[in-house]
Amino acid sequence: MKISVCQINSIVGDLKGNKQKIIDGYRKGVNDNVELVVFPELALIGYPPLDLIEKKEFRKAVMNAAEEIAKKTKNVGLLFGSITEDDDQVGTDVHNSALLCFDGKIQFIQNKTLIPNYDVFDEMRYFDSAKRVDVFKFKGEKLGISICEDIWNDSDYWCIRRYSNDPVNRLILGGATILINISASPYAYKKREDRREMLSVLTKGNEIPLLYVCYVGGQTELIFDGASMCFNKNGDLVKMGKFFEEDYFIFDTKINYPKIEIVERSFEEEIIDSITYGLREYCKKLNFKKVLIGLSGGIDSAIVTYFAVKALGKKNVNVIMMPSAYSSKGSILDAEKLVNSLGINSNVIPIQPLFDNALKNLEPIFNDTTPNIAEENLQARIRGLYLMAVSNKFNYLVLATGNKSELAMGYCTLYGDMSGGLAIIGDLYKSEIYHLAKYINKEKEIIPNEIITKAPSAELKENQKDQDTLPPYEFLDKVLKMYLEENKECKEIIEELGDDKDVCKILNIVDKNEYKRRQAAPSLRVSTKAFGYGRRFPVVQGWRKK
C-alpha cells in the first residue's frame, strides 16, 4: 500500500487551523496518488488538550469539524486523530480516537485502548478505554490501527509491562497486514532510540510492516520531536520524518528502501535543537516577538541568551545587566563580551541605589539584626522587579535562567531569579550546562571562556561561591539524577556511589524546596523526569524529615 505520512504541528484548541492542515495534507496525498493519508494522534485538537475536553461546546465543535473533514474525502483514505463520544453513562463517555474516512464519510473508528496515567500523562482523567479492537479491510489490506500507548506494551520487548492487555497483538491475531500507530509522544533524550528498538522488535517478530506517525511541536513545557518511523516486515527502519519540524513523505510497503541506522545524535546536538525548538514554539504560539533575560556574567544566563538568539534571532533578544556592589569586575566584563559576541540589545541598570534604599526602609524592622539570606534575596528580587517592569512595558517574555540542579536544591530566589514565563534550561543539570557551553564553543568562542572556567557564584555577598553552599556539581548531579529520574532513595544511592557524604542531606533539601518549584516557571522537558506536572511530589509530607 502507498501511504503518505503527514507529521503536523497542531495547536491545542485551534480547530480551524488544524482542520485546514489535515485537509491540505490529504489533498497533497491525493495528488501523489497514494491510497491512504495518515496524521498523528489528536491531530484535530492538539495534544495534550487537558480540561478543554471537559467542555461540552468544545467537544461538539470537534465532532462537527471531523464531519467536515470527512466530507472532503474521496476514494483515498484519510486517517487522523480526534475524539468521539458514546452514551453508556459509564466513565467519561469520551474516547481518544483514530478516524478513518473515505467517500465523504467517517467509515471506521478505532478508540485508544491503553490509557496512560503516569509522568506527564493524565489521560484517565478524560478518556475511556476502547471496548473493541478490530482490523479494517481497505484496498486489499487489513489495517491494524492503534493509538500511541497501545503499542508500548509488546511482551517480546518489555520485561515488565504496564498493562495486561495488548491491543496490537489482538490486531495481529485478527489478521492485520499493516500496522499503523498514530502517536503524540513527548520528547526526551534517548527516547527516539527506545522507539526504534521497540518497534523493530515488534515488526520483525511478527513479519508485518508498520507506520508510526508522530506529532511534532511544542506545547508549554512539552516538546514533540516528530521523527515518524516506518518499518518493513523484517524490522528495519526504512523511512523517517524530520526532527523538530513538520514533514510529509510517502511510504510504499511494496518498495525495498535502504535501512536507516542512526536515529539519535549526540547529547549536545539533540539538546540544543530541542530547547531551541521548544522556545521558538512557545513564543510563536503565545505571540511573543521578543524575550528578555537578566544577564549576570554567569554560565546559566549566558546559555539561555545563546538559545534565545538561536531560536528568535539577535534582534529579538534583549538583556539587562544589573550589577551590585558584589558583582565582580570580571562578571561585568564577561557579560559585555557575550553581548558583543551575539550582537544583541543590552541595557545596564545598577541595583545598588535601590538596594541601599530598601535596606534603609527596612532598618526599623530588621533592627540591627545580623545580615543573612534576607539581604541576599532582596538583591535578586530587585532584579526580578526590573525585569518584570520592562516585560510589562514592552511585552517581552522573561526567560528564567535557573538550571535543574539549582531548582532541585532551592538555590534560587522566589520572585527574584525565578521570575519569568519560561525556564528553558530548567531540565538541565549544571554539569550538562558546562558540556553544552564547551560544545557551542567547539569551532569558535561564542560564550566567553572566562564564563565557562570561573567558579560559579550568585554574587549576592562578598566572595560568594556556589560550592560554599552546595556539594560539587559533579557529585550533586549524580545524586539528583538517581533520585529524581531513577526514583532511588538514600540507601540505594549511597550503595551505588560508595560515598554517603551529603547524600541524605541533599535529598532532604530537594524535598524541602518543593514549595518553590510549585511557583516556578514551566521548564522545557528534555529528560524522562522534569520538574512540573510530570513530577508530583507533595509539598507537605512526613516521609523524610530533617
| 297 secondary structure, DSSP code | S
Which entry of 101, 148, 214, 412 is annotated as an active-site residue? 148
Q: Which of these, 73, 156, 151, lies nearest to 110 by C-alpha position?
A: 151
Residue linked to cell 478505532: 110
Chain-centre distance of CA 34, in angstroms? 33
Distance CA 540, CA 515 (A): 9
What cell numbers appear for 149 in the block?
500507548
CA 316 to the chain's CA centroid: 23
φ/ψ of 478, rounded to 5, equals -65, -45
Q: Pick the catalytic residue: 19, 112, 404, 529?
A: 112
- With left for phi above 0 and alpha for psi between -120 and 50, is residue 119 left, alpha or beta? left
- In the block, cell 560568594 appears at 464
Grid cell locating 8: 503536523
CA distance 376 to 494: 33
Cis before 48 (ω within 30): yes
Catalytic: which of 35, 41, 141, 149?
41
Residues found in the chain: 546
> Known catalytic residue: 41?
yes
Our answer to whether residue 214 is catalytic in this structure is no
Taking the C-alpha atoms of residue 397 and residue 392, their distance in angstroms, rounded to an integer, is 9
176: nearest Cα among 77, 257, 253 = 253
DSSP state of 301: H
The C-alpha angle 513, 517, 523, rounded to 5 degrees, equals 140
Is 101 designated active site? no
Report, as residue numbers or ranges, the catalytic residues.
41, 112, 148
